[in-house]
Amino acid sequence: MIFLRKVFISLVLIVLSTPAFSNLTIEITEGAQGALPIAIVPFKWSGSPAGLPAHDVSEVIRNDLQRSGRFNPLPVASMLAKPGSGDEIDFRDWRALQMENIVVGQVQPNGSGGYLIRFQLFDVYRGEQITGYSVPTTAADLRSSAHSIADIIYETLTGEPGAFATSIAYVTSEGKGENQRIQLKIADADGYNPQTIVSSKEPIMSPSWSPDGSKLAYVSFEKSQPSIFVQEVFTGKRDKVSAFKGINGAPVFSPDGRYLAMTLSKGGNPDIYIMELRTRKLRQLTSHWAIDTEPAWSPDGQELVFTSDRGGKPQIYKIPVTGGKEQRVTFDGDYNAKASYSPDGKSLTLVTRINGNYRIGILDLASAQLRILSTGSLDESPSFAPNGSMIIYATTYKGKAELSAVSFDGRVKQRLALQTGDVREPVWSPYKNRKRSR
């Protein structure tokens, strides 16, 4: 059985690919041994065949859990039965398949254009229900409701919040020369529902979410002047907050959303500044002839890490938010850049150079151990999921710029390939619709 499982996970699974919508496609490129075996039985549709929902809710849940690296969902083809509710489950079937948990459910019509999803999560060995919900939804929200259900299952079984009902922002580039189009887009964390929120002939860079997920800060080179904008995600309304002479770059919201750290070179070379958004008041945090850039806040807002080549090569340094003495953080290798904190503040993800290859690493701050997570040669822009379980980053595959995601332990990797154009600079959104206290 263990052998069989290995065969399953070593297969490259291509799922969720819908070329017509230019979605990101997800492939599992490395297996997950030790992941929890779970059966997500296809949910029963109780309406008319003509009213069948456009998305298979249980399939969305199954793919989410697989992507996390923490679960190993049973393929539908291997299921001995397909119970639609708790009283239809014969737990012996699922024990025989060595499942630890099973999820069953139904989708039924609910008013005009609405649906009601019911699901139950069972412990296979004890034969008991662990949790179950009824979730009213609409056709437009079907996938997002499925992601929320995956979050509930994830949290119930791992004790940690799920991050499936979240978004990613990223930059795409299509065409060349006069026909080049650079776009800032937002999609569901699984790559579905891509929406363009900025489109330009000139470069767009460095998107950063506000902590409540309602705004994005980014750099745009329109009118041949790099400027920092803060844009409301849902209304499209935006403010130009910084357009000084020279570099206006690397904006990043403070954890309380009141400040924006950024890189400005108005003083003659790139230094880190902090802007209070309400008053637009600026405070210079670093002052050095070297390049200081790519600031990132610690989760408690008390210090920032940044990239500096003050020692000759780019390395990561940290500085208290109130200013003061910088301290070097990275010592492995001759190139470390673009660091950001894990949500628990215990580690940094960053770009590190090894034998001429640029790869994604995780630096454990307590032990100063650097682990390499990626295997590409031009990997960059790592961004933690809000629960810290995964990191999304930009990579190059067969000459094309793509996104990839890797689980924190490095065991599960997925390619998220756009059908056309280059895609880069992914940033994972905060949790949606709920406040988490972790």
Partner 1 sequence: MKKTCIKSGLLLLAVLLLNGCSSMGGSTGDANGDGSSGAPVTDANGDNGDATTSGANQGGQWQGNPLDDPNSLLSTRTIYFDFDQSDIRPESADVLRAHAAYLLNNAGASITVEGHCDERGSREYNIGLGERRASAIKRFLQAEGVADSQINTISYGEEKPVDSGHGEAAWSMNRRGELVY
Identity of the residue, 201 or 281, whose beta carbon is nearer to partner 1 in the bound complex: 201
Smallest gap, in angstroms, from Cβ of residue 418 to partner 1?
Answer: 16
Which of 207, 213, 226, 343 is the binder for partner 1 (CB under 8 A)?
226
Torsion angles phi and psi, residue 14, rounded to 5: -105, 115
> Would you give the binding string for partner 1 spanning residues 289-308, x where CB under 8 A is met?
--x-xx------------x-
Smallest gap, in angstroms, from Cβ of residue 269 to partner 1?
Answer: 8
Does position 338 bind partner 1 by CB under 8 A? yes
Total Cβ atoms within 10 A of residue 398: 6
Nearest to 330 by CA among 355, 357, 349: 349
Identity of the residue, 38 or 272, whose beta carbon is nearer to partner 1 in the bound complex: 272
Region 232-271 residues binding partner 1, contact defined as CB under 8 A: 246-247, 249-250, 263, 265, 269-270
- Applying CB under 8 A, the span of 56-64, 97-105, 120-128, 286-294 interacting with partner 1 comes to 286-294
Region 385-424 residues binding partner 1, contact defined as CB under 8 A: 396, 399
Please state, in angstroms and rounded to a whole number, the distance separating the CA atoms of residues 237 and 257.
17
Region 163-182 residues binding partner 1, contact defined as CB under 8 A: 176
Identity of the residue, 151 or 294, whose beta carbon is nearer to partner 1 in the bound complex: 294
Which residues face 262 on adjacent strands?
273
Please state, in angstroms and rounded to a whole number, the distance separating the CA atoms of residues 292 and 267.
12
Smallest gap, in angstroms, from Cβ of residue 252 to partner 1?
Answer: 10
Please state, in angstroms and rounded to a whole number, the distance separating the CA atoms of residues 351 and 374.
10
- Which residues, in sequence order, are CB contacts of 356 under 8 Å at separation 6+? 377
Identity of the residue, 161 or 382, whose beta carbon is nearer to partner 1 in the bound complex: 382
> Would you give the binding string for partner 1 spanning residues 6-45, x where CB under 8 A is met?
----------------------------------------
| Residue with token string 């025989």 | 96
Does position 207 bind partner 1 by CB under 8 A? no
Smallest gap, in angstroms, from Cβ of residue 202 to partner 1?
Answer: 9
> Would you give the binding string for partner 1 spanning residues 78-117, x where CB under 8 A is met?
----------------------------------------
Identity of the residue, 131 or 225, whose beta carbon is nearer to partner 1 in the bound complex: 225
Does position 208 bind partner 1 by CB under 8 A? no
Burial class (CB in 10 A: 0-12, 13-18, 19+), 176: exposed
Q: Count residues binding partner 1 (CB under 8 A).
A: 34
Smallest gap, in angstroms, from Cβ of residue 300 to partner 1?
Answer: 24
Which of 17, 225, 227, 375 is the binder for partner 1 (CB under 8 A)?
225
Sign of the alpha-carbon torsion through 56, 57, 60, 61: negative
Which of 144, 167, 206, 374 is the binder for partner 1 (CB under 8 A)?
206
- Applying CB under 8 A, the span of 70-78, 93-101, 273-281, 330-338 interacting with partner 1 comes to 330-338
Which of 224, 235, 355, 367 is the binder for partner 1 (CB under 8 A)?
224
Which of 68, 183, 342, 381 is the binder for partner 1 (CB under 8 A)?
381
| Residue with token string 């990613």 | 168
Does position 375 bind partner 1 by CB under 8 A? no
Please state, in angstroms and rounded to a whole number, the distance separating the CA atoms of residues 239 and 373.
37
User: Footprint of partner 1 on this chain (CB under 8 A)?
Assistant: 176, 203, 205-206, 221, 224-226, 246-247, 249-250, 263, 265, 269-270, 291, 293-294, 307, 309, 314, 335, 337-338, 351, 353, 358, 378, 380-381, 396, 399, 425
